[in-house]
Amino acid sequence: MHRYQSFVHICVFVFIVLIAFNDDYNPFMMNEAETFSNTVIKSEDSLYQEIKAKRDKYSKPPVNAYIDRVWKKTPGLNGIQVNVDKSYEQMKETGEFDKTLLVYEQIPPKKTLDELPAAPIYRGNPKKNMVAFLINVSWGTEHIPEILTILKKHNVKATFFIEGKWAQENSDYVKMIDEQDHVIGNHAYSHPDMANLSKSQANEQIKRTNEILKAITGKTPKWFAPPSGSFNDQVVQTADMLKMETILWTVDTIDWKNPTVSVMMNRVMGDIHPGATILMHPTTSIVNGLDKLIENIKKRGYRIGTVPMLMSAKR
């Protein structure tokens, strides 16, 4: 009996091995003839040919990062090209071409922002329909919770440039900002006129603030916003040596002048553009007008993102 069972086991094993090495009967192997046939049928389909013929019309080449004569360091932008096979899969059910069902792939530029020499950054790529809020914080605490609540309501992430001294005295607010996934940047330690500092003084202002912010959040800031927008080449080079980018702005809410909501709105919406960086502070004017400002910016077709998102080449 034992000998008979052993014989049966051997026969079963041999049968399985034969099937595994026989392409004609292996269920786990693709039928090459069938695959080839499907490919031929698809390539001869008029819809497939139409998508292929219109591919270039809907594709855009990537844009390299560059140094603009006025706006200085400018991020690149991914190109897009139509994936013909995936687009065909999306449309074959109806059998009709529908540009809204095109599937795109992003093509990165050859030169990125990191490859450019040290220079200030004022804006994102001018072809990118995104803007960013730059919220500079060096005084006050009473408006921070309200601003965070409004941003959360609209699912908007901002970039808070925080002064080192303020961060030391208000670490709970820094944690609150960080825990809500906003980006935290460096706004120097004591709000000095950076253009009038020596190289060592500038380095101390930026480095000390980085250390404070890292101690609170566990993250070292990559972005530096000079107080009052005051800088020179030495300041930019100092930030670059600390592996940081110097960020300025293209649209100012002038909230520090305590404008009415309508005045602030008209100013911002009159100046807004693709790639805009919008400067604001934790003020009463921002608390009163931020809700409406976000709604109007979105109605214009812009996404609102953080500085890293705006500077990314991703569309």
Look at residue 126 and give its three-state secondary structure. Answer: coil
Taking each helix axis from N to C terminus, what angle separates 144-153 and 171-179, rounded to the nearest 10 degrees? Answer: 0
Q: Tens of pLDDT along 132-147?
A: 999 999 998 999 999 9
Per the document, the length of the chain is 315
Look at the block and give the residue holding tokens 């408006």. 143
**How many other C-beta atoms are found inside a 10 Å radius of the C-beta of residue 184?**
22
CA pair distance 212, 218, nearest whole angstrom: 10
Q: How many CA atoms lie within 13 A of 235 on its CB side?
A: 24
Distance from first CA to last CA of the chain, Å, rounded?
72
Q: What is the pLDDT averaged over residues 86-101?
A: 94
Mean of the pLDDT values across residues 253-268?
Answer: 96
Parallel, antiparallel or unpaired: strands 79-82 and 104-107: antiparallel
- Domains of the chain are 45-112 (no CATH), 130-311 (3.20.20.370)
A 10 A CB-CB count for 217 gives 18
Check whether 222 has a pLDDT greater than 50.
yes
Cα–Cα distance for residue pair 115/121, rounded to 1 Å: 14
Average pLDDT for residues 237-245, to the nearest whole number?
A: 98
pLDDT at 140: 86
Phi and psi at 130, nearest 5°, equal: -140, 150
* Predicted confidence (pLDDT) at residue 23 exceeds the cutoff of 70: no
Task: Name which of 44-48, 105-109, 224-228 the model is least confident about.
Answer: 44-48
